[in-house]
Structure 1
Amino acid sequence: MTTRRVLKWLAIIAAVPLTLVLIVAAMLRLDYAGTPAPWAKSTGNDALWLGHAWVDGRRTAADVNILASRLGSMKDVYVHSGPLDANGTLPAAKYPNAANLLTWWKARLPGVRISAWLGQTVNPDDEGHLNLADQATRARVVAGAKTLVDLGFDGIHYDFEPVDDGDADYLALMRETRQAIGSAVLSVATHQIEPVSGANFLFRTIGGHPKYWSPEYFRQMAELTDQVAIMTYDSWTPLQSLYGGYVARQTAMALELTPDTTDLLIGAPAYHDHMVGISDYAESVAMAAEGTRLALTDHGPRANLGLALYVDFAATEEDWREYEQSWVRAKEE
């Protein structure tokens, strides 16, 4: 084979992924087109992830009072109360200030539900990570969750990563937790929905772990829980308009897949140290709000849809301003 022919084939091979990237970029840019309806904004069903400082003794009643001024449109908060040990156990030493927090919270913010956020890295092939396929491990996870609900938390918010698409053990954990905690809120932070067919395979090949869930698996999770919060950040999109389009696509898909009885939260990145540097420029609370509003406009009103801000200890004044202006008090431009 001549050098010219080799170069020709190399050029063709290189052009294929580049073409796919350009097609996806064009698709996301189209998803970002249009003007949100004036009614497409917060309905008071928003959420906030809170760091571990709230349960380990670093936060006080005064901090609850300060935070209360931020939470005018929040219905839920998820307080990091783990992590779990590799065998699923949740030692009480992980949350020594939880009882105090609950007392302060319910006195100051009785209308905002407070759930315990539990999670761990999932890897059945590594003894240092959680294995949800082990029934005894799941039983210990559920026991920890029940202990926290009995302590006074309004619910449990799970966030295990990475979880393979179709993982039956994660679904089993949801069923077992529901049986244990009864009518308490059962919430889950979900992987992103596969935006186009083949994206999960491509990401697993490049990144070495799953990133997306299929629409069907997302639907199953939504049917088993009271609330799903999609982690719509670290999207790898390089431009603000593409991130806005990405959120619009995720929201549109989730609106079709999530039962009306299940709350749907769209994750908004109130942090600035993304895994991929370009996302620090592209991703913002404002763009997440805009994408959500565009999808909601096309779908029609849904009362139990909101934004979920990640995370309190990294959120800047600009993040809070964008949340207020672009979502809570948004209006047609």
Structure 2
Amino acid sequence: MTTRRVLRWLAVIAAVPLLLMLIVAALLRLDYAGTPAAWAKSTGNDALWLGHAWVDGRRTAADVDALAARLGAMKDVYVHSGPIDADGTLPPAKYANAANLLTWWKARLPQVRISAWLGQTVNPDDEGYLVLSDAAVRARVVAGAKALVGLGFDGIHYDFEPVDDGDPSYLALMRETRQAIGSAALSVATQQIEPMPGAGFLFRTLGGHGKYWSPGYFRQMAELTDQVAIMTYDSWTPLQALYGGHVARQTAKALELTPATTDLLIGAPAYHDHMVGLSDYAESVAMAAEGTRLALTDHGPRPGLGLALYIDFAATEEDWREYEEHWVRPD
């Protein structure tokens, strides 16, 4: 084979990924086209992830009062109460101030449901990773969740990452937790739904682990919980319109897959330290809100849909302004 032919083939091989990226970008930009309906906005079913400072003693009753002025349309908060140890246990020392927090919360914000947010890495390449396929580990996780509900939390919010698509052990954990906590709220932060066929395989090949869940697996998870919150951030999209399209696509898929009995929350990035630099420019609460509104407009009204802001300690005044202006009271 001549040098010229080799170079030609190399050029073709290099052009294929570029062409695929351009096609994906065009599709996402089309998803962001249109004008949201006036009615497509918050209906008071929003949520906020709260950091560990609320349960380890750094926050006070005065902080709850200050947060109350922010929450407005929020119905839920998820308070980081772990992380869970590698063997599945959750030492009470990790949430030493939770009882005080719950006392302050119930007195000041009885209308806002407060759930304990529990999670850990399940990536074998990470130190202290947790093996959900081990029934004994899951039993300890469930015991910790039950103890938190017994302490006074209104529910449990799980976030284990990265969970492979189709992993039966995560579904088993949901069933076992439901049996243990009864009617208390059970919610989960989910990975993104595969945006187009082949995306899951491509990311696994390049990234070494799964980023997306198939529609079928997402539906199974939604059927087992009271609420799903899709982590639509860290999308790796370099432009604002592409991120808006990404959120619109995720929301549209989730609206079709989530049972009417399960609340659906769309994660909005109220933080500014993305692993991929351009994402700090592309991703915002405003773009998440606009993408959600576009998908909702196409779908029609959906009770129980809301935005979930990640995360309280990183949220800026601009993030809160965008939440108000683009979602709670859009023009």
Q: Give me the TM-score of the superposition, normalised by structure 2.
A: 0.99
- Give the aligned CA root-mean-square deviation in angstroms: 0.9
Q: Which amino acid aligns with 2:59?
A: R
Which consecutive residues of structure 2, in runs of 5 or more, have no partner in the other structure? none
2:188: which partner in 1? 188
Q: What corresponds to 2:245 in structure 1?
A: 245
* Corresponding letter in the other structure for 1:187: S
User: Distance between the aligned counterparts of 2:207 and 2:27, measured in 1?
Assistant: 23
Aligned partner of 1:316 in structure 2 is 316
Matched letter for residue 223 of structure 1 = E
How is 1:117-128 mapped onto 2 (pairs within 5 angstroms)? 117-123=117-123, 128=128
The Cα offsets for residues 287-332 of structure 1, whole Å up to 9 and x where unpaired, read as: 000000000000000120000000000000000000000000013x
Partner of 2:15: 15
Q: Is 1:159 aligned with 2:146?
A: no
Deviation at 1:124, TM superposition (A): 5.6
CA distance in 2, matches of 1:126, 1:168: 21
Deviation track 1:95-134 (CA, whole Å, cap 9, x = no partner) reads 0000000000000000000000000001368783100000
Aligned twin of 1:285: 285
Q: Which runs of 5+ in 1 are unaligned?
A: none
Q: Is the 8 A contact 1:240 1:287 kept in 2?
A: yes
**Residue 301 of structure 1 aligns with which residue?**
301
Shift of 1:275: 1.2
- How far apart, CA to CA, are the structure 2 residues paired with 1:328 and 1:123? 37
- 1:124 and 1:244 map into 2 onto residues whose CA distance is 33
Q: Tell me the distance in 2 between the aligned counterparts of 1:124 and 1:255.
A: 32
Alignment deviations for residues 23-77 of structure 1 (CA, whole Å, 9 cap, x no partner): 0000000000000000000000000000000000000000000000000100000
Matches within 5 A, 1:225-264: 225-264=225-264
Residue aligned with 2:58, SS: coil
Q: Segments of 4+ in structure 1 off by > 6 A?
A: none
Q: What amino acid maps onto 2:108 in structure 1?
A: R
Residues 33-72 of structure 1: matches in 2 within 5 Å? 33-72=33-72
Distance between the aligned counterparts of 2:125 and 2:239, measured in 1?
A: 37
Q: Secondary structure at 2:197's aligned position in 1?
A: coil
Cα distance change, pair 235–127 in 1 and its aligned pair in 2 (3 A): closer
Instruction: Report the secondary structure of 2:271's partner residue.
Output: coil
Moved more, 152-161 or 204-213: 204-213
Equivalent position SS for 1:69: helix
- SS of the residue corresponding to residue 176 of structure 2 reads helix
Kindly indicate whether the alpha-carbon contact (under 8 Å) linking 1:124 and 1:133 is maintained by their aligned counterparts in 2: no
CA distance in 2, matches of 1:277, 1:127: 25
CA distance in 2, matches of 1:125, 1:322: 37
Distance 1:193 1:275 in 2: 20
- 8 Å contact kept, 1:188–1:229: yes
> TM-score normalized by structure 1?
0.98
Match of 2:2 in 1: 2
Matches of 1:228 and 1:30 in 2, distance apart?
A: 26
The aligned counterpart of 1:112 is 112
Alignment partners' CA distance in 2, 1:273 and 1:299:
32
Q: SS at 1:70's partner residue?
A: helix
Cα distance change on mapping 1:125 and 1:19 into 2, 3 Å: closer
CA distance in structure 1 between the aligned counterparts of 2:54 and 2:122, rounded to whole angstroms: 25
Identity of aligned residues (%): 87
Equivalent AA in structure 2 for residue 191 of structure 1: Q
